[in-house]
Structure 1
Amino acid sequence: MSIDDDLAVTRRFVIPAGELRERFSRSSGPGGQGVNTADSRVELSFDVAGSPSIPDDLRPRLLARLASRLSDGVLTIAASEHRAQLANREAARVRLVSLLRDAAAPPPPKRRPTKPSRGAKERRLDEKKRRGEVKRGRRRRYED
């Protein structure tokens, strides 16, 4: 994945590089002499609510699943774990694609309710009886 490439989230959903906004700032943490001069922290923003590249049937699912992370319909990812700006830009893009891919995944199929078999019920009751016998055997036999 290159910095200037479009981001492929799914086969139907590709984000053009022009729809991404990047902001750079000074990163906290170790960095020696360069820590106060290099703007290595990256904030990558993508407008989920207003992007024309999101398929119309996918947009409501993305908005619902990412609701807690959105601010005015915009998803922002911050990356500052690397000392190099280029590495942080790459990390932010990878994280953005991962988040969008997870949010775009179709919901799992509904669970079909099942009932325990007669044999399973009998085994459960037999085990309960056995436990009761063990506990009854531990009781004090005589009251002083």
Structure 2
Amino acid sequence: MPPSALRWRFSRSSGPGGQGVNTTDSRVELLVRLDEVDSLTEQQLARIHAALSHRMIERTLVIVAAEHRSQLRNRQAARDRAVDLLRRALTIPAPQKRKARKPSRAAKQRRLEAKKRRGQTKSLRRRPDL
């Protein structure tokens, strides 16, 4: 992902940090402009948009990290989260396995008729009774 596609915004975070929480901008917002990522195809962009539309504003993915006290650790957390989200959005889900169902009445009837026909064919191969 090119650095030109990333935009960083910082603000004051709530939570632990003592007196420093009121003065340092430790909350991090990472904005990933997906239009500027040249390596993504239109199909991949559509898949990302379908999977992450609740986290997107127009064509920009928004990720917020504020769980650490330092801005540097929050930046790393946001970057890791972005990579993980994009990787999960781009993986193609495995096809769902077929669930076993009870055969229908017509399917049971067809099966029994096929068995009868097969039995008749085999009985015709036997020697005739004299």
- Is the shorter-chain TM-score for this pair beyond 0.5, marking a shared fold? yes
Q: Could you tell me how far apart the structure 2 residues matched to 1:27 and 1:112 are?
A: 48
Name the SS of the counterpart of 2:63 in structure 1. strand
Larger Rg: 1 or 2? 2
Q: Could you tell me how far apart the structure 2 residues matched to 1:103 and 1:32 are?
A: 37
Q: In angstroms, what is the RMSD of aligned CA positions? A: 1.9
TM-score for the superposition, normalised by structure 1: 0.64
Could you tell me how far 1:35 is from its partner in structure 2?
A: 1.1
Q: Could you tell me how far apart the structure 2 residues matched to 1:114 and 1:68 are?
A: 34
Pair 1:111–1:78, CA change in 2 (3 A): same
1:62-121 deviations in Å (ceiling 9; x for gaps): 11111122111111111010001000000000111111111000121243454569xxxx
Alignment size in residue pairs: 103
Aligned to 1:120: none
The answer (yes or no) to whether the contact 1:40–1:85 under 8 Å persists in 2 is yes
Q: Which structure 1 segments of 5+ residues have no match?
A: 1-14, 118-144
- Following TM superposition, the consecutive aligned residue runs of length 4 or more in structure 1 with deviations greater than 4 angstroms are 113-117
Percent identical: 50
Richer in helix (by share): 2
TM-score for the superposition, normalised by structure 2: 0.70
Q: Which structure 2 segments of 5+ residues have no match?
A: 104-130
